[in-house]
């Protein structure tokens, strides 16, 4: 059977490059670079107002899930400072980097295995001396630490005075005094976090 000698219909060849247009024009999503979001971890003993601070910083953008391989819940959220976005994680209560409970083990593993740009150690101003040993451990572990002395209003009511500048000089890290439940010191904390991370001062010394 002879061909009917059509020129531009049944036997015409596809134009070169038409079938591969998607390959040459569209970049693959996996090759697109995105700016990583700095991660801030809240650390502290139970009953120091850590969860209150977490909620004040993150608002309603919060997810709660079990840490992989455990029954321990970890809360994660986001906060904004100016035009910058930060990921915030509320770690389970811990007394030491040498874990005894499963909660302490999860907190330690999170700090040492995940990419944490800043650790905010939340302490009770009324019991500062009992809580500073964990601060020393965090610094000695080489983690970037900011000390948030919370419940400053209750300490002042008991006649306890906290000298923030003296603490900063002795510890070599930034210190913020605050009362998270009263929204006192939250703005200073956010600005301190923003400046600390932006300045790339991400070591145990301030």
DSSP string, 132-154: HHHHHHHHHTT--EEEEEE-HHH
User: How do residues 111-126 score in pLDDT, each as one tens digit?
Assistant: 998 889 999 999 999 9
% pLDDT > 70, the chain? 78
Give the alpha-carbon dihedral of 182, 187, 193, 199, to 10 degrees: -160
Distance between CA atoms of residues 176 and 186, nearest Å: 9
Helix (H) or strand (E) holding 112: helix 102-113
- C-alpha radius of gyration, the chain, whole number: 26
Place domain 36-198 in its CATH homologous superfamily.
P-loop containing nucleotide triphosphate hydrolases (3.40.50.300)
What's the mean pLDDT in 81-104? 93
User: How do residues 13-46 score in pLDDT, each as one tens digit?
Assistant: 544 544 434 344 444 544 444 568 899 999 999 9
Distance between CA atoms of residues 179 and 174, nearest Å: 17
DSSP class of 179: B
* Phi, psi (rounded to 5 degrees) for 42: -95, 125
User: How do residues 150-188 score in pLDDT, each as one tens digit?
Assistant: 999 999 999 999 999 999 999 999 999 999 999 999 999
Give the alpha-carbon dihedral of 91, 94, 98, 101, to 10 degrees: -90
């Amino acid at each position: 059977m002879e061909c009917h000698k059509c020129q531009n219909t049944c036997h015409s060849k596809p134009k070169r490059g038409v079938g591969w247009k998607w390959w040459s024009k569209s970049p693959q999503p996996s090759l697109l670079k995105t700016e990583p979001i700095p991660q801030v971890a809240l650390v502290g003993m139970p009953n120091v107002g850590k969860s209150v601070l977490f909620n004040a910083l993150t608002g309603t953008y919060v997810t709660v899930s079990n840490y992989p391989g455990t029954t321990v819940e970890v809360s994660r959220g986001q906060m904004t400072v100016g035009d910058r976005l930060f990921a915030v994680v509320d770690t389970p209560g811990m007394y030491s980097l040498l874990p005894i409970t499963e909660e302490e083990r999860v907190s330690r593993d999170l700090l040492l295995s995940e990419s944490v740009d800043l650790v905010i150690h939340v302490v009770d101003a009324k019991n500062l001396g009992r809580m500073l040993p964990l601060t020393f451990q965090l610094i000695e572990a080489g983690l970037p630490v900011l000390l948030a002395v919370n419940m400053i209003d209750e300490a002042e009511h008991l006649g306890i005075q906290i000298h923030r500048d003296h603490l900063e000089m002795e510890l070599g890290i930034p210190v913020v005094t605050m009362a998270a439940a009263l929204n006192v010191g939250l703005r200073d904390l956010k600005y301190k976090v923003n400046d600390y991370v932006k300045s790339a001062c991400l070591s145990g010394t301030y």
